[in-house]
Structure 1
Amino acid sequence: MPVRSVEHATFVVTRTYDASPARVFEAFADPEIKLRWFAAPDDVGLPEVEFDFRVGGREYRRGGPKEGPMHTFEARYWEIIPEERIVYSYDMHLDDTRISVSLATVELRPQGSGTMLVFTEQGAFLDGHDNVGGREQGTAELLDALGVELTHQLDEGK
């Protein structure tokens, strides 16, 4: 019988972008934009994606390298306040093993002509398959990729 464990942890990642709260919100709400920055590492093939950005809606992404394992992210949106806040819960799997369950809150705060994004995650990391340090690092990398996307849009005059 496997040994079971749960690591409970909360982390916060903050980023400031030279983009309005409306543009940052759009990067979460528009499926084409989100697919550009909320992406898997380069060694992971094109994922299966479902995206229903509304309260009660579901986001689903599944993909992985040919040699495995498959990574699955499945989220449910609980609160969406345009240009201000997004709250969702999600779980992650490697193949058929659930590795974590989390509650995430994205806050968008006007800061001068830009936006301060505050991402807070409260997670249960299961049976040693994942940990808060890795998740925080991955989240920081995704939010950095969001910054690159927003800068690219600015350079293109959007």
Structure 2
Amino acid sequence: MPEQSVTHATFTIERDYPAAPDRVFAAWPDPATKARWFAGGTHDGHELGFETTYQEIVPDERIVYTSAPSTGGTVATVSLTTVEFVAAEDGTRLVLTAYLDGHEQPARREQGTGDQLDALGKELAAR
């Protein structure tokens, strides 16, 4: 069994999208839409898992969830994430804050989350 440790970290990522909050929010609960921008795949030949429990959903305003990404049956981290959809002059400011508790490298998770939010922007532009 691989050695595990606990690393606590918090990061916040902000993105501006030229779409109304209800449209940006709608890209999260729809499975077909989310599958196009929310990354999955494999790591070192193992399928990546992402178990999520939604704690609070306020339509068009906020989603709060806990998640436990894993690879090869090993949990990489357990996190609490808040996604806020804030009306802005030119559309929506999305603010995502994650608190991590696990043995995943926090910078790697932050980069991956940023990549997903960039993919969300492309998905919104395509619609």
Class of the TM-score when normalised by the shorter of the 2 chains = over 0.9
Amino acid at match of 2:24: V
Displacement of 1:32 after TM fit?
Answer: 1.2
Displacement of 1:121 after TM fit?
Answer: 0.1
1:50-69 paired onto structure 2 within 5 Å: 64=42, 68-69=45-46
Which position in structure 1 is the counterpart of 2:8? 8
TM-score, normalised by the number of residues in structure 2: 0.93
Alpha-carbon separation, structure 2, partners of 1:3 and 1:143: 31
Larger RCO (CA under 8 A, 6+ residues apart) = 2
**Structure 1 residue 70 corresponds to structure 2 residue 47:** yes
Give CA deviations for 1:85-107 in whole Å, capped at 9, x if unaligned. 00000001111111100000000
Which position in structure 1 is the counterpart of 2:66? 89
Change beyond 3 A, Cα 1:26–1:91: same
1:143 to 117, 120, 125: 117
Match of 2:83, SS state, is strand
Which position in structure 1 is the counterpart of 2:18? 18
Displacement of 1:78 after TM fit?
Answer: 0.6
For structure 2, the 5+ residue unaligned runs are none
TM-score, normalised by the number of residues in structure 1: 0.76
1:110 to 53, 72, 87: 87
Displacement of 1:114 after TM fit?
Answer: 0.1
Amino acid at match of 1:83: D
Amino acid at match of 2:100: G
Match of 2:28, SS state, is helix
For structure 1, the 5+ residue unaligned runs are 45-63, 154-158
Which position in structure 2 is the counterpart of 1:125? 102
Alpha-carbon separation, structure 2, partners of 1:151 and 1:86: 22
Spell out structure 1 runs of 4+ moving beyond 3 A. 1-4
